[in-house]
Amino acid sequence: MNSINKYITGFVLSALMLFSTSCSEFLDVNEDPNNPVVVSEPLLLTGIIANFTYQILAGYPVRVTSTWVQQQSYNGALPHYGIYRVDENDVNNTWTYYSYSNAMQNCKILSEIATTNELYDYAGIAKIIWAWNMSIVTDLYGNAPFSEAWNPDMYPRPAYDTQESIYASLQTMLDDAIADIDRTDGLSTYVVGEDDFVYGGNMTKWKKLAYLLKARFYMRLSYAPGFNAVTQADLALAATANSFASNTDNATYEYLDEAGQENPWYQYAIDGKWSTDQQMSDKFISDLLIRNDPRIYALAGFDGDGEFSGHENGVDGDTDKSPIGEYYSAADAAVIMASYPEVKFIEAEAHLIKGDLPAAQTAYSAAVRASFDELSDEIDKKSADDDNLSGASTDVDAYLTANETLRSPLNIAYNQVMNQKYIAMFTQFEVYNDWRRTKIPSLSAAQNANISSMTEPATRFPYPSAELNYNSENVNAQGVPVGFNAVTSKVWWNTAPENCTLCNN
């Protein structure tokens, strides 16, 4: 993304906020006389991508769940979300404004006007992001409005769709997006270009991203009630065959070291104007050091003593711990939206589910090496600054020799794959989904958990206050407790490890 495009991000964020709802009620987004009736496809696309990346992919949902899976730790004064103290007011913006309004409502509008104007590539991208955001909503909250969500006749009480039906609809939406991208009968003189901050109009890569999401969603249901893991693995492998082929296909969003244009992790975890309480978890740092994993130089920064040290999850104490690494949190760092290592880890897991250890080995080796390739420059740069106090290893070959070979039996190999995926996908929401789906790595509840009986991290978000206020009959029918206790409920597909024989060591 060139600098001109990046400089208009702030404008677009403001413009799209205005284009979304101005009312407090959930989903009052269908007709608003204070908002423009027609917005061009390029402006809509730019704003959708900017908002979705900043508010969702690198926003509150990931900051919270990264602490819950103990990659990061929140060091603010107790109580806070790091000990699972999250209620309906805390999650309202993620649902009401950032997802249903700023992202998905505008995706719906873009899809419709682009189809009317025969600009099918825009429609395809809109459907990809729409499906992606809806998957995050249902993964966080469970059953949710979808089929009636944007129908003005249903406002403000749209019915709730089941997760199972939502996931079927998401696959259909991605198939429609791929079909839109493949169309050749639209207008060829007005194509996606610099208004696309992810791929610069490269529709082949958008199509590969759609297939990655399809594979991800198939694997999400691998242990869901009524689903067959081998069938889901076959579907995932068919999708990955059309997805990312190398790290050059990675979906990223770049930021600038300019006021108001900085990377969101920088703004929320590094820049003292906001907070420096989001730090690395002691568990994650310890695991990396025990493994002699050179990626620690990219994943984490040095503490005040020039070492790598994490903050214990759930403890209010020393603030002088390792921050998130500059590869992810520098002011001008790119946000990694989706990456090639995930494709290969999906393949490795799918092959293990099918009992094919050799095929899993091939995919697993490619995944681990792709993770190192992605971070190699940052590892070299940061390790050169090390004054030897950190005790971290820089020997990539030794690490690969020790960790690249899958071991028998299959459940041990499966644990290797999921643990390596946990490391490689740092700062991505999918880590939380994988942990809930497989319970790998093994995690205990943070210290001082808000609910003393909790033995593991929180497993969902509560339903938001807007729904409880304006759509109470439908939301109450879901059977999820109101308030802090909601975080101990499970979403429909979260059945591990009971339904996953490979998940047990």
The predicted-structure confidence for 174-217, as pLDDT tens digits, reads as follows 999 999 999 998 776 668 999 999 999 999 999 999 999 999 99
Residue 253 — φ and ψ, nearest 5°? -125, 120
Q: Determine the distance from the C-alpha atom of residue 257 to the mean position of all C-alpha atoms in its chain, rounded to a whole number.
A: 23
| Cβ-based burial of 165 (10 A; exposed 0-12, middle 13-18, buried ≥19) | middle
The predicted-structure confidence for 80-128, as pLDDT tens digits, reads as follows 999 999 999 999 999 999 999 999 999 999 999 999 999 999 999 999 9
Q: What is the pLDDT of residue 320?
A: 87
Which residues is 278 bridged to in the sheet? 74
Integer-rounded Cα Rg, in Å, for the chain is 22
Domains of the chain from N-terminus onward: 3-259+334-503 (1.25.40.390)
Give the whole-angstrom CA distance, residue 78 versus residue 175: 45
Q: What's the mean pLDDT when you consider all of the chain? A: 91
Quickly count: other Cβ atoms within 10 Å of residue 228's Cβ: 13
Question: pLDDT below 70 — which residues of the chain?
Answer: 1-38, 188-190, 505
Give the whole-angstrom CA distance, residue 328 versus residue 330: 6
Helical segments of 439-497, H only: 465-470, 472-476
CA-nearest of 339, 321, 336, 338 to 270 is 321
Q: What is the pLDDT of residue 191?
A: 86
Q: What is the pLDDT of residue 375?
A: 97
- Judge whether 86 and 487 are in contact, CB under 8 Å: yes
CA-nearest of 19, 9, 21 to 110 is 19
Give the whole-angstrom CA distance, residue 312 versus residue 456: 15
Task: Kindly state the tokens that stand for 101.
Answer: 């309004």
Q: What is the pLDDT of residue 2?
A: 40
Question: Using alpha carbons only, what angle is made at residue 379 by residues 274 and 266, rounded to the nearest 5 degrees?
Answer: 10
Q: What is the pLDDT of residue 32?
A: 53
User: Left, alpha or beta for 306 (phi > 0: left; psi -120 to 50: alpha)?
Assistant: left
